[in-house]
Structure 1
Amino acid sequence: MAVDFENEIKQLRATMASVRDVTDLDRLQEQITELETEASSPNLWDDVDHAQKVTSSLSRAKAEHDKVTGMDARIDDLEALVELGQEESDAETMVEAERDLARLRKDVEQLEVRTLLNGEYDEREAVVTIRAGAGGVDAADFAEMLMRMYLRWAERHDYPTTVLDTSYAEEAGLKSATFEVKVPYAFGTLAVEAGTHRLVRISPFDNQGRRQTSFAAVEVIPLIESTDSIDIPENDLKIDVFRSSGPGGQSVNTTDSAVRMTHIPTGTVVSMQNEKSQIQNRAAALRVLQSRLLLLKQAEEAAERKEMAGDVKASWGDQMRSYVLHPYQMVKDLRTGHEVGSTNAVFDGEIDDFIEAGIRWKRGQERAQD
């Protein structure tokens, strides 16, 4: 069936119009101008941390601006290619136009997903925690596989990450790990990854080669900002210090620099051991604790609203994805139905399609409840 290029291009332009409205290119250009002025200051590198923040923010803002404006130019190029092919009745040119259209559709859809991220904290950077669940050493190994998957995903997009804490299991893998994804909209993007992940495979740790099902939990919270009003009285905190440990429980630090911070009223516990000093670990632990309490407060308010509305539906984030390596290979999202057979690619960070489907699904759930 012949492709209706006129209608396809019209739809692409309509989608890009909504993308530009949400992106607000004028505001973004103002931000770029301000950052360029700051980056050109001769004293910029007097504060290395601040300078790195300015330069990375400038790079991201330019990339976002260029991505939107560049897409408009690509649609113009496609339209010109189609006109040329039709005028000259050139079949080869029309085949090329179909290929360009397919690529454009996918890229525009990815930009469109950003327009769905309009939650209260969606613009924030993210703190991701992965915990091994039921399944013994297989679950700990699965937790490490998931951590690598998310770090590879971030690397593919040039998103900076910082590992804040790793608690190694005795035999292999991780009991838990916490890391930051330090780009705008990281929370809104990754929030759909929160929930219970399940792995089915022949256990490499079972001498009899039996099939094993193991679980890991993923938590995603927005990174706290200085403007957020989450005050924690000193009396509400219990702070313990200990030595950092590596795989197998071996000590990797000769001083008590690691910090475990407990919020007594809620029982929330945060551990940090990846910074070099106790002061740095304490500051990082407090930041993550404040972020968790902020999300907890938001969840409690949402639960109260649901209770008043008589909504008794289960949370959307539970038991959300299965990774099957035996007897067949498949990764399937149990909420959206999206599935692929390339399990190696998924564990190597190719999860954009799952994330995009999850964002669209979550937005649809929210609309249905409004």
Structure 2
Amino acid sequence: MTTVDLADKLKELDATLRNIETVLDLGRLRRDKADLEEQAGAPDLWDDQARAQQVTSRLSYVGGEINRLERLRSRIDDAGVLLELAEAEGDADSLAEAGNEVVALQKAIEELEVRTLLSGEYDQREALVTIRSGAGGVDAADFAEMLLRMYLRWAERHGYPTDVYDTSYAEEAGLKSATFAVKSPYAYGTLSVEAGTHRLVRISPFDNQGRRQTSFAAVEVVPVVEQTDEIDIPDDDLRVDVYRSSGPGGQGVNTTDSAVRLTHIPTGIVVSCQNERSQLQNKATAMGVLKAKLLAVKRAEEQAKMDQLRGDVAGSWGDQMRSYVLHPYQMVKDLRTEHETGNPTAVFDGDIDSFVEAGIRWRKQNQMAAA
């Protein structure tokens, strides 16, 4: 790029960042931070551990958002100064450095711009993710475990805390199912585009004849229920079973009947939790998961009524939303957005941001078209 091109691009990025600051309401974020810091400094904060964790988590998130915006603003200003110096002194090295920074800034601002597209009713909430193996036998169970690792690695890359509530291991290898929480604001809005059926094509490591195998796994994403949500579960609608935890966990977990399974009789929804030593803690966690799933059912019913009133709306996600092909070629492709990469290894290691961002943009376009 020439100096003029870089200057024009910086102006464009500056305008985009100002728009993002307006949409995210930087002034409100700063006020929220001051209020949360005051709450976090209260001497009785940890008398209510649930509230304390909510305050500290929110403070960490808000502080991170402010720092992110301020760093980008500083980088744009510094890039402008560097560009002026490069032009004044005719310094080719400084011009190249400015060009590289403009490219990096464009990527960072585009990533942040995606956040402004998360405006759904529950998008700001934490997420509960359930992965289930589908057709494909032991390969499907192994695929489910690969997806669990992929999402946990993605969360780790971003510094998002996670908590695995339940894992049901398959007999030979892999998982029948797993449920985990991503405890970060906007986790639901971000990960909700990952919901659907995922397909894996590869040479099966479990087939002695080395044949190609196609297997499936389902990903479900629901928002975490908050105290303001009206989800009432009468005792008569609930069956509670306790059992001994299985799999990794240590002596204290595996030798007591601390695991809890809740069955919501009217809907048939079943949730389990076995990650805590206490039966009461597991029951409370399982109840939170159950309420989140019932909230999702309620939303689906309301959406179905709206769709019926609105008529046929394009944009159905379909049964298979993404394919992971390891043989005869290497590719991961999203069937809704057409976004793809030739590096499945990186994807399974948690590098899914480009797929998530493409999915969020795709969803927003469909919502605007439907409206």
Tell me the TM-score normalized by structure 1.
Answer: 0.95
Residue 53 of structure 1, CA deviation: 4.2
| Pairwise CA distance, 1:174 | 0.3
State yes or no: 1:198 paired with 2:196. no
Corresponding position of 1:143:
144
Shift of 1:6: 2.8
Deviation digits for residues 293-347 of structure 1 (CA, Å, limit 9, x no counterpart): 1111111111111112221646326311111111111111111111111111111
- State the alpha-carbon separation in 2 of the partners of residues 14 and 317 from structure 1: 37
Distance of 1:294 and 1:43 partners within structure 2: 32
Q: Which residue matches 1:355? A: 356
Distance 1:251 1:82 in 2: 62
Pair 1:118–1:317, CA change in 2 (3 A): farther
What does residue 297 of structure 1 align with? 298
- Work out whether residues 313 and 370 of structure 2, in 8 Å CA contact, stay in contact via their aligned partners in 1: no
The answer as to whether partners of 2:314 and 2:366 remain within 8 angstroms in 1 is no
Given that 1:128 and 1:219 are in contact with CA atoms closer than 8 Å, whether structure 2 keeps it comes out as yes
* Per-residue Cα deviation, 1:238-282 (whole angstroms, up to 9, x for no partner): 2222221117xx996222221221112211111111221221111
Q: Distance in 2 between matches of 1:28 and 1:112?
A: 16
Aligned residues of 1:128 and 1:180 also touching (Cα < 8 A):
yes
8 Å contact from structure 2 (residues 57, 184) kept in 1? no
**Could you tell me the TM-score, scaled by structure 2's length?**
0.94
Counterpart for residue 232 of structure 1 = 233
Corresponding residue for 1:129? 130
> 2:253–2:277: 8 Å Cα contact kept in structure 1?
no
Alpha-carbon deviation of 1:89? 2.0
Report deviation, 1:45: 4.8
* Cα distance in structure 2, aligned partners of 1:291 and 1:44: 26
* Matched ranges for 1:36-75 at <5 A: 36-45=37-46, 50-75=51-76
| CA positional deviation for 1:55 | 3.3
Q: How far has the Cα of 1:147 moved from its partner?
A: 0.3
> Secondary structure of 2:327's partner?
coil
Contact 1:243 1:251 in 2 (8 A): no
* Cα distance in 1, alignment partners of residues 16 and 181 from structure 2: 31
| Matching of residue 111 in structure 1 with residue 112 in structure 2 | yes
Deviation at 1:49, TM superposition (A): 5.5
**CA distance, structure 1, for counterparts of residue 254 and residue 313 of structure 2:** 48
Partner of 1:262 in structure 2?
263
Amino acid across the alignment from 1:223: V
Query: What SS class does the counterpart of residue 254 from structure 2 fall into?
Result: coil
User: Partner amino acid for 1:19?
Assistant: I
Alpha carbons 2:253, 2:276 under 8 Å: kept: no
Kept in 2: contact 1:141–1:172 (CA 8 A): yes
Cα distance in 2 for residues equivalent to 1:204 and 1:310? 46
Task: Check whether the contact 1:195–1:217 (CA below 8 A) recurs between aligned residues.
Answer: yes
8 Å contact from structure 2 (residues 195, 219) kept in 1: yes
In the alignment, the residues of structure 1 paired with residue 335 and residue 310 of structure 2 have an alpha-carbon distance, to the nearest angstrom, of: 26
Name 2:10's counterpart in structure 1: 9
User: SS in structure 2 opposite 1:320?
Assistant: strand
How far did 1:84 drift? 1.3
CA separation in 2, counterparts of 1:314 and 1:354?
A: 17
The Cα shift of 1:59 comes to: 2.3
Asked whether the 8 Å contact 1:246–1:252 carries over to 2, the reply is: no
Asked if structure 2 preserves the Cα contact closer than 8 Å seen for 1:202 and 1:211, the reply is yes
Corresponding position of 2:310: 309
Pick which of 283-292 and 6-15 moved more.
6-15
Matches of 1:71 and 1:314 in 2, distance apart?
34
Structure 2 unaligned residues grouped into runs of 5+: none
The answer to whether the Cα contact below 8 Å between 2:127 and 2:191 also exists between their aligned partners in 1 is yes
Higher deviation after alignment, 293-302 or 46-55: 46-55
Q: How well do the aligned residues superpose, as a CA RMSD in angstroms? A: 1.9
Stretch of structure 1 that moved more, 286-295 or 51-60: 51-60
Q: Is contact 2:117–2:361 with CA below 8 Å preserved after alignment? A: yes
Question: How many percent identity over aligned positions?
Answer: 64
1:57 Cα offset (Å) = 2.9
Pick closer, same or farther for the CA change 1:319–1:329 going to 2, 3 Å: same
Q: By how many angstroms is 1:41 displaced?
A: 3.4
1:344 aligns to what SS in structure 2? helix
Distance in 2, matches of 1:198 and 1:251, equals 37
